A = this chain, B = another copy of it.
Amino acid sequence: MIRPGQASYTYYKKYGRYYDWAGAGRASGRETVARVAGGAVAKLILDSMGIDVIAYITEIRGIKASPVTYETARANYRKNEINCPDLEAAPKMMEELRKVKAAGDSCGGVVEIVARGVPAGLGEPVFDKLSATIAHAMLSIGGVKGIEFGCGFEHARMTGSESNDTPYFDEESGRIRFRTNHAGGLLGGISNGEDIRVRVAVKPTPTILKSQETADISKSENTSHVFASRSDPTICTRIYPVCEAMMRIVLVDALYMAEGYRSITSAVDPEWEGL
């Protein structure tokens, strides 16, 4: 019988009788442990370079956190079980999760990832823009159904004069900065020195405790079934550390490439001034 919303059906179609039905098989989120381990190594490198990556929940079943600055998110995001930096929204999300769980159901949400301290100039032109490699990394996580950078889909409602971030010369840092960050830290897919700010859509846990209509492949007939005895009310709480890890891994890769280019070009041409 096909489990609605699960990868089991597509993996079965792909792998035929080599498919592993047990516990989501090779589609199981268990594989993400290796991503988190890789992210921990990447964190050691990024920490020393003053690059900080945090991920937290900003929406659970339509209950939205107020927009938070990096500073607020940093200070608050570990203060509750739901890893939500808006301390007023968090208990409402928890309450909603309890209701959903009591009903034997599950729900989706949004995870936000912020990277502060990323130098300008990361990412390659054309196909391997940093936006493209970050999107690749995030959409490779099971349960993720969308990604947006900065204002993301809100751009569709804006004019150019509204969305363009105004550059200015910042006396304090002695470098160019931007008065707003609608772009989410990326212009032309390359980092501009502002926070990289990404939001990721997470679908509800497909495993629920309710009876669901489905089809029985072996009998070619339709039926209904309760598939589980336990289920997580949301996978957002499990996915945010994976998003954090993947962002770190992508950034370290991009840093190595950009730094190799910068270091060699500077050596070759002392008058060159990049990065």
Q: Which residues of A line the B interface, CB within 8 A?
A: 2, 4-18, 26-27, 31, 44-45, 48-49, 59-62, 100, 103, 105-110, 120-121, 123, 125-129, 131-140, 142, 144-153, 155-169, 176, 183-184, 186-193, 199, 201-208, 210, 212-217, 220-222, 231, 255-265, 267-269, 271-275
Do A140 and B149 touch (CB < 8 A)?
Answer: no
Answer whether A160 and B5 are a contact pair too, CB < 8 Å, given A136-B133, A257-B260: yes
Do A31 and B126 touch (CB < 8 A)?
Answer: yes
Looking at A62, A139, A146, the one whose CB has the most chain B CB atoms below 10 A away is A146
Of the candidates B10, B15, B109, B186, the one whose C-beta lies within 8 Å of that of A187 is B10
- Chain A at the B interface: SS class: mixed
Q: Within the assembled complex, what's the spacing in Å between the Cα atoms of A48 and B169?
A: 34
Q: Within the assembled complex, what's the spacing in Å between the Cα atoms of A26 and B203?
A: 37
Do A272 and B160 touch (CB < 8 A)?
Answer: no
Number of copies: 4
Q: Within the assembled complex, what's the spacing in Å between the Cα atoms of A190 and B10?
A: 6
Which chain B residues border A193 with CB–CB below 8 Å? 13
Which chain B residues border A12 with CB–CB below 8 Å? 274
Of the candidates B48, B183, B206, B261, the one whose C-beta lies within 8 Å of that of A164 is B206
Q: Within the assembled complex, what's the spacing in Å between the Cα atoms of A107 and B157?
A: 7
Do B140 and A146 touch (CB < 8 A)?
Answer: no
Do B213 and A168 touch (CB < 8 A)?
Answer: yes
Which chain B residues border A109 with CB–CB below 8 Å? 156
Answer whether A163 and B110 are a contact pair too, CB < 8 Å, given A201-B148, A222-B169, A256-B257: no
Which chain B residues border A214 with CB–CB below 8 Å? 166-168
Of the candidates B4, B108, B135, the one whose C-beta lies within 8 Å of that of A165 is B4
Answer whether A204 and B163 are a contact pair too, CB < 8 Å, given A190-B10, A274-B14: yes
For the complex formed, measure the closest distance between the CB of A66 and the CB atoms of chain B, giving whole angstroms: 16
For the complex formed, measure the closest distance between the CB of A182 and the CB atoms of chain B, giving whole angstroms: 8
Do B153 and A153 touch (CB < 8 A)?
Answer: yes
New A-B pairs, 8, CB < 8 Å, besides A109-B156, A145-B151, A167-B214: A10-B187, A10-B190, A11-B188, A27-B188, A61-B156, A62-B156, A142-B188, A145-B149
Nearest B residue to A208 via CB reads B160
Answer whether A139 and B132 are a contact pair too, CB < 8 Å, given A14-B275, A31-B126, A208-B161: yes
Which chain B residues border A5 with CB–CB below 8 Å? 160, 163-165, 183, 187
Nearest B residue to A268 via CB reads B48
